[in-house]
Structure 1
Amino acid sequence: MQIKHLPEEFKSALPIIHTLEAAGYEAYFVGGAVRDTLLNKPIHDVDIATSAYPEEVKQLFDRTVDTGIEHGTVMILDHGQGYETTTFRTESTYTDFRRPDQVTFVRSLSDDLKRRDFTINALALRGDGLVVDLFNGVSDLEHQTLRAVGHASDRFQEDALRMMRAVRFAAQLDFTIEPDTKQAIVDHAPLLEKIAIERVNVELTKMLQGRNAQYGLLELLATRLNAYMPGLKNVEIDLWGYAELLAKDQPDTPTVAWTLLAFELGLTPKDTETFLRLWKHGNELIQQAQKAITLLNVLRQSEATNWQLYMTGDAFPNAMRVLQLSQLPNDVLELKNRYMQLAIHHRDELQISGKILQSAINLQPGPMFGKILGELEKLVVAGQVANNQSDLIARAKAIAEKEK
């Protein structure tokens, strides 16, 4: 197969290919960029593989960075952009099921491609547009099939994360995992526990946002990968419910994906924090999910008050998106309108401050300040006091007198 018109992303990198070839080495575009080009998808990172060893690459270019020199990767900064260029290599045994015990640089493209995970990712592209396909990857692309290179068991024993990549690619590309590859996932699923949870998190997050996320999640369940993930063992019924939701629509951000998962698992805000910390999520996502879950758990059973909408704060859009995806019988548009019509959306918007309180009602700084401001905040949100300074001062005086 030959690509007659290379995408601009490849054209920009051709000087590197030509420089390597002029020096007597082989050089090819490899990886996801080749796959996505054949699928008519946008290209992201352009990676180059070459028969030149790292030191030989560095001698040919003026500006390079050793981004992964131990694995043969050099970033070439010539020609106005950085391109990761990696020497053909073979890999030894994987004692920890994550990283090769030893990497050996080779001159053979075939030896390099046979260590890759799936046939659709084991394609190489020459500078003249000729596709090098040693494992029938083009055919698998045409038939929308995800197949491991060589023996699937070997690939998953080398790097157990590839099992998660299988369900992720299936979801993102809307491909079917072929039977032998799927059976190898079933056989090796326990190895997933040996993988850093941060790496599993990346794959699961991408999978849940895939265009066929339902299929990816159902395959994850069918292969029992969930049994080796934090908080997802013995919750198949909840995950099947999540899969049903994914058939109709998919989360568009990681925060929405994980908040919806916590909601489908029936977690409290506190349990949500515990669950998300097991997955090594950052504080911002956790806080957004907790605030959204607080409101969603209310809406699951009853109407929300203005104060409950208000307290959701900047997590309100996340909560509404999850509410849409969850298919609860709530009027999302009506809730959005109510939220927008709140007199304030943050305490900073109150037309009164501690300084004003101190001068207007002769109140000295202390615990009473916070109590009065908190009362005023609730009254304004409830619509019981207008958010203007005179009304707020009058009500503040009444609260202070009552407290005395």
Structure 2
Amino acid sequence: MQLAQLPEEFIGAQPILETLEHAGYEAYFVGGSVRDTILGKAIHDVDIATSAYPEEVKALFKRTVDTGIEHGTVMILDHGTGYETTTFRTESGYQDYRRPDEVTFVRHLEDDLKRRDFTINALALKHDGTVVDLFDGLADLKAGVIRAVGNPEDRFGEDALRMMRAVRFASQLNFAIEPATLAAIKDHASLLSKIAVERIHEEFVKMMMGSAAHRGMGLMIQTTLADYCPGLVGHTIDLSTIATLPKLRMASEVEVWAMVALHLGLSYPDMVEFLQAWKTANHIIKDVNLALHLAYAQQYHQVSDQVLFEMTPDTITAGSHVAQISGYGPSDLNLWQDAYAKLPIHDKHELAVTGADLMHDLNLQPGPAIGDTLDKLIAAVIKQQVTNEHTALLDYAKDNLVKDSTK
């Protein structure tokens, strides 16, 4: 197979391959960028594999960086762009079920490709657009199948994260996992416990953001991979509900975790503990809390201006999308955004009086009463019981709040 048109990213890197070939070495584009190019998808990273050893690569190019030279990877800098170029290699001794204990540089492309995870990722592309397919990856791409290269049990024993990658690709590409590969995932699912949570986290989020996320979640359950993810064991029924949602596709990490937390029925403290176990960033946890709050409010028809005030535009979008997919939200995702936009204020700092004003003008003493009064003023402004003006707020507080606090 020869591609008639290469994407601009490959065209820009063609001189790298040509330089290596003119020096007597083999060089190819490899990895997911080749797969995605054939599928007509946008590509992001351009990876190059070559028969040249690292020192031979460095001798051919003026500007290089040793980004992973112990594994054969050198970054070639060309006109402001960096291209990771890796020597053909074999790997052995995966004692941690993730990284090889030993890497050996080799001269033959087949030796390099046969160590890769799936046939659809074991394709190589020459600078002229010729596709090198040694493991029937093109046939699997056409059939929509994810198949391990060689013996799947060996591939998953080498790197247990590949099981999550299989499920992630099934979601992103809407492909099926072929029977032998699927059976090997089931047999080796427990090895996922050997993998760092951060890596599982990355694959899970990508899976949930895939175009066929329902398929990915179904495979997580079917293979029992879910049982080896933080906080998911014992939640098969809850996860199965997610897997049956027809329009399941999350637009952000916040939506991913809000969706999972909603269907697991997690309270705020439980949600925080759950996401901390997944090594989730604190700012994501904060936004998930807001999105989840709005999703629950929609589920129980309790959305109010006060609830919306606590949100941000992004968390309104996330919470509304999660609720809508789950069958709770309105069909118009702009409904709550429009209501939010109409609020008199959107942040407590927009209130036209401060605690210092209350102490100076109303003779309130420092303490909890200050915060309580400010909260009540915010609620009154949101309910449009008083305008957000300095004098009006002080008069409202004096007539309605300060007297109440002294009773």
**Short-chain TM bin:** over 0.9
Q: Is the 8 A contact 1:119 1:146 kept in 2?
A: yes
Q: Distance in 1 between matches of 2:140 and 2:342?
A: 53
Aligned partner of 1:276: which letter? L
Aligned counterpart, 1:219: 219
Q: Distance in 2 between matches of 1:145 and 1:151?
A: 16
Q: Is the 8 A contact 1:268 1:293 kept in 2?
A: no
Q: Distance in 1 between matches of 2:237 and 2:358?
A: 55
Are positions 1:400 and 2:402 aligned together? yes
Q: Which moved more, 1:68-77 or 1:368-377?
A: 368-377
**Aligned counterparts, 1:190-229, within 5 A:** 190-229=190-229
Q: Is the 8 A contact 2:320 2:329 kept in 1?
A: no
**TM-score computed with the length of structure 2 as normaliser:** 0.94
Q: Distance in 1 between matches of 2:335 and 2:17?
A: 58
* Residues 40 and 344 (structure 1), Cα distance of their counterparts in 2 relative to 1, 3 Å cut: same
Aligned counterpart, 1:266: 265
* Residues 8 and 333 (structure 1), Cα distance of their counterparts in 2 relative to 1, 3 Å cut: closer
Count of residue pairs brought into register by the alignment: 403
1:302 CA displacement: 4.0
* Residues 103 and 337 (structure 1), Cα distance of their counterparts in 2 relative to 1, 3 Å cut: same
Q: Which moved more, 1:218-227 or 1:309-318?
A: 309-318
Q: Is the 8 A contact 1:66 1:75 kept in 2?
A: yes
1:333 CA displacement: 5.1
Q: Distance in 2 between matches of 1:337 and 1:8?
A: 41
Residue deviations 1:106-142, cap 9 Å, x none?
Answer: 1111100000000010011111221111001111111
Question: SS of the residue aligned with 1:312?
Answer: coil
Q: Which moved more, 1:299-308 or 1:56-65?
A: 299-308
Residue deviations 1:274-315, cap 9 Å, x none?
Answer: 111111100111111112223333433342332223223453
1:269 CA displacement: 1.1
Q: Is the 8 A contact 2:17 2:28 kept in 1?
A: yes
Are positions 1:251 and 2:250 aligned together? yes
Aligned partner of 1:111: which letter? D
Aligned counterpart, 2:117: 117
Aligned counterpart, 2:347: 346
Q: Distance in 1 between matches of 2:272 and 2:137?
A: 42
* Residues 106 and 334 (structure 1), Cα distance of their counterparts in 2 relative to 1, 3 Å cut: closer
Q: Which moved more, 1:57-66 or 1:373-382?
A: 373-382
**Aligned counterparts, 1:4-403, within 5 A:** 4-245=4-245, 247-313=246-312, 315-328=315-328, 334-363=335-364, 366-398=367-399, 399-403=401-405
Q: Distance in 1 between matches of 2:231 and 2:364?
A: 51
1:356 CA displacement: 3.6
Aligned partner of 1:232: which letter? L
Q: Distance in 2 between matches of 1:145 and 1:294?
A: 39
**TM-score computed with the length of structure 1 as normaliser:** 0.95
Q: Which moved more, 1:343-352 or 1:95-104?
A: 343-352
Q: Is the 8 A contact 2:321 2:329 kept in 1?
A: no
Q: Which moved more, 1:269-278 or 1:386-395?
A: 386-395
Aligned partner of 1:69: which letter? I
Q: Distance in 2 between matches of 1:100 and 1:257?
A: 32
Residue deviations 1:174-213, cap 9 Å, x none?
Answer: 1111111101101111101101111111111111111111
Q: Distance in 1 between matches of 2:368 and 2:237?
A: 49
Q: Is the 8 A contact 2:74 2:84 kept in 1?
A: yes
How large is the Cα RMSD of the aligned pairs? Answer: 1.8
Could you tell me which runs of 5 or more consecutive residues in structure 1 were left unpaired when the two chains were aligned: none
1:3 CA displacement: 1.5
1:46 CA displacement: 0.5
Q: Is the 8 A contact 2:90 2:104 kept in 1?
A: yes
Q: Distance in 1 between matches of 2:132 and 2:335?
A: 56
Could you tell me which runs of 5 or more consecutive residues in structure 2 were left unpaired when the two chains were aligned: none
Q: Distance in 2 between matches of 1:270 and 1:330?
A: 27
Question: SS of the residue aligned with 2:310?
Answer: helix
Identity of aligned residues (%): 53
Q: Distance in 2 between matches of 1:306 and 1:5?
A: 54
Q: Is the 8 A contact 1:160 1:195 kept in 2?
A: yes
Question: SS of the residue aligned with 2:385?
Answer: coil
Residue deviations 1:51-96, cap 9 Å, x none?
Answer: 1111111111111111111111111112331000000000012111
Aligned partner of 1:146: which letter? I
Aligned partner of 1:403: which letter? S
Q: Distance in 1 between matches of 2:160 and 2:140?
A: 22
1:156 CA displacement: 0.4
Q: Distance in 1 between matches of 2:297 and 2:360?
A: 40
Q: Distance in 1 between matches of 2:297 and 2:244?
A: 22
Q: Is the 8 A contact 2:28 2:126 kept in 1?
A: yes
Q: Distance in 1 between matches of 2:135 and 2:355?
A: 71
